[in-house]
């Protein structure tokens, strides 16, 4: 029993850490679209095929889009260093974010100090051995996203410990929230002296993971795609995704004379490099193209199977639910509104879905398709596939997606009928009392007051936050949470991770629901 609180705290921390990745990743996805559109419409091939685009005003606009699209790619590590303490802090979030930048700068300045004293700076061979690059204008070791995550976690811990710190009266000006960036600079300054000593071990570990994946050949993308889906219900998939997208585990490549690590980093570097004639299959195999068979074909097929298997009198009731889920999946790349319709009633079907998603990653890589970015939706298909020319082999996507549609439809329809799975619309009319469903309040489309009561009331919620589609919270007493009322009021799924940690899947408008709940709790 003594270990339960520690286990719960670690679980909550991992949940919260994965959630903090969403802020920079969301910007990265949008920046990628700008970069993709801008770079494709300034290419000679596009200008020759569409001469009306070859005028100075449009070309300057497209070039501007390309430059602005680079913002998230160039400054991604510092964005992680800022976003992690911002997301983990429960009070004084602005101070936490500011301290994240201070900590990241202090770390690199301290590393620069060590390298200068050790006569590494200026020695070409030594700089290469240490992986020295210009970070925020500082010659430092390129610790990448992993270094930024370490900074973010340290700053978050310092913030939680010191943002209410009381100094002696003579130094009271430096106390409280103002003390956080001060202690951050000192602690990260010390950490920066240690990094050059231990970083080679970190780098070797990450390179080892990358070597395992690369030696797995086509099974590398399969393992990644399957693992990412299996981790999604737990909310831990962001950690695996970040490892592959932004570190050496996702591969290393020489692009325009620069060594770049991480599958997404490689793709964006190639996208912005004028010398690129074709994107690397080894990088894009872990990106958008791998999701497209399941997202554009498979899950819509599963939705159609659930519709056809519903009781005739219930099909009208679930039609809007399924259609909205398909639109979110195909247009937005958000799959949870569909996946949570069968995750709990048929876990085996979800496991099959995870395997088929992994097979989609493997198949697209074997076919030599090269469509990058993050979401696997229709937008990615058009911007990073069609607009980039036939070298991406975008024309294979509809064919593979059609095959996945047929497979999903057949598998889901057979399993639902054969094992009488209670997917939406197959439930018999219940004699249970109907659960209260209130009218939407505000612009969220949900009734926050009823949702708050179903969560046990304001006094039952210890911590509340959200990611892309779900509320993430810690509660005092899990028995006070009413799943049926939550689902009657728009919740797609309720995941009780342990005795205190809870996730409520809402959908794309979850941030509005969270704001509504926070307003009610404050009142």
Catalytic (active-site) positions: 467
Q: At 400, phi and psi to the nearest 5? A: -65, -40
Extract the tokens encoding 96. 């936490």
Residues 121, 183: Cα–Cα separation, whole Å: 28
- What would you measure as the largest C-alpha separation in the chain, in angstroms? 79
Q: At 118, phi and psi to the nearest 5? A: -85, 5
Contact status, residue 56 vs residue 15, Cβ threshold 8 Å: no
Extract the tokens encoding 407. 């497979």
Q: What is the DSSP letter of 313?
A: G
Label residue 452 left, alpha or beta by phi (over 0 means left) and psi (-120 to 50 means alpha): alpha
- Secondary element (H or E) of residue 201: helix 179-215
Residues 416, 419: Cα–Cα separation, whole Å: 6
Extract the tokens encoding 381. 């298909």
Contact residues for 174 (Cβ-Cβ < 8 A; gap 6+): 167, 182
Contact status, residue 337 vs residue 469, Cβ threshold 8 Å: yes
Contact residues for 28 (Cβ-Cβ < 8 A; gap 6+): 72, 73, 76, 264, 374
Residues 223, 431: Cα–Cα separation, whole Å: 45
Residues 195, 204: Cα–Cα separation, whole Å: 14
What angle do the packed helices 219-231 and 347-366 form, to 10 degrees?
A: 150
């Amino acid at each position: 029993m003594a270990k339960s609180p520690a286990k719960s705290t670690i679980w909550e921390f991992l949940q919260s850490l994965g959630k903090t990745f969403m802020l920079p990743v969301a910007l990265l996805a949008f920046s990628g679209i700008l970069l993709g559109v801008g770079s494709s419409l300034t290419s000679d091939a596009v200008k020759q095929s569409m001469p009306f685009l070859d005028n100075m005003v449009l070309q300057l606009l497209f070039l501007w889009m390309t430059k602005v699209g680079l913002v998230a790619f160039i400054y991604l590590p510092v964005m992680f260093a800022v976003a992690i303490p911002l997301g983990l802090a429960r009070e004084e979030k602005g101070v936490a974010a500011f301290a994240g930048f201070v900590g990241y700068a202090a770390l690199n300045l301290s590393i620069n100090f060590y390298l200068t004293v050790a006569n590494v700076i200026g020695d070409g061979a030594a700089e290469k051995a240490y992986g020295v690059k210009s970070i925020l204008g500082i010659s430092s070791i390129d610790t990448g996203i992993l270094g930024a995550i370490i900074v973010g976690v340290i700053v978050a811990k310092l913030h939680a410990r010191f943002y209410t710190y009381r100094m002696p009266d003579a130094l009271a000006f430096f106390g409280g929230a103002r003390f956080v960036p001060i202690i951050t600079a000192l602690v990260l300054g010390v950490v920066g002296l240690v990094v050059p000593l231990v970083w080679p071990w970190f780098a070797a570990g990450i390179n080892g993971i990358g070597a395992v994946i690369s030696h797995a050949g086509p099974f590398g993308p399969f393992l990644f795609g399957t693992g990412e889906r299996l981790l999604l219900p737990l909310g831990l998939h962001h950690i695996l995704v970040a490892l592959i997208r932004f570190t050496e585990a996702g591969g290393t490549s020489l692009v325009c004379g620069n060594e770049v690590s991480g599958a997404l980093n490689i793709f964006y570097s190639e996208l912005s490099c004028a010398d690129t004639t074709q994107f690397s299959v080894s990088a894009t195999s872990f990106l958008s193209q791998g999701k497209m068979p399941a997202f554009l074909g498979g899950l819509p097929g599963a939705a159609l199977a659930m519709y056809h298997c519903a009781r005739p009198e219930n099909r009208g009731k679930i039609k809007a639910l399924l259609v909205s889920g398909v639109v979110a999946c195909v247009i937005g790349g958000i799959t949870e509104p569909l996946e949570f319709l069968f995750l709990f009633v048929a876990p085996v079907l979800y496991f099959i879905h995870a395997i088929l998603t992994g097979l989609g990653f493997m198949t697209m890589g074997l076919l030599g398709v090269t469509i990058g970015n993050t979401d696997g939706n229709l937008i990615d298909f058009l911007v990073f596939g069609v607009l980039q020319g036939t070298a991406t082999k975008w024309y294979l996507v509809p064919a593979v997606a059609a095959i996945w549609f047929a497979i999903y439809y057949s598998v889901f329809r057979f399993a639902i009928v054969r094992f009488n799975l209670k997917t939406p619309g197959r439930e018999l009319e219940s004699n249970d009392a109907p659960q209260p469903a209130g009218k939407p309040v505000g612009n969220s489309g949900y009734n926050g007051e009823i949702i708050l009561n179903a969560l046990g009331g304001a006094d039952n919620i210890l911590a509340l936050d959200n990611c892309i589609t779900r509320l993430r919270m810690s509660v005092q007493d899990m028995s006070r949470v009413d799943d049926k009322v939550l689902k009657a009021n728009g919740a797609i799924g309720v995941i009780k991770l342990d005795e205190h940690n809870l996730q409520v899947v809402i959908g794309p408008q979850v941030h509005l629901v969270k704001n509504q709940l926070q307003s009610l709790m404050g009142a």
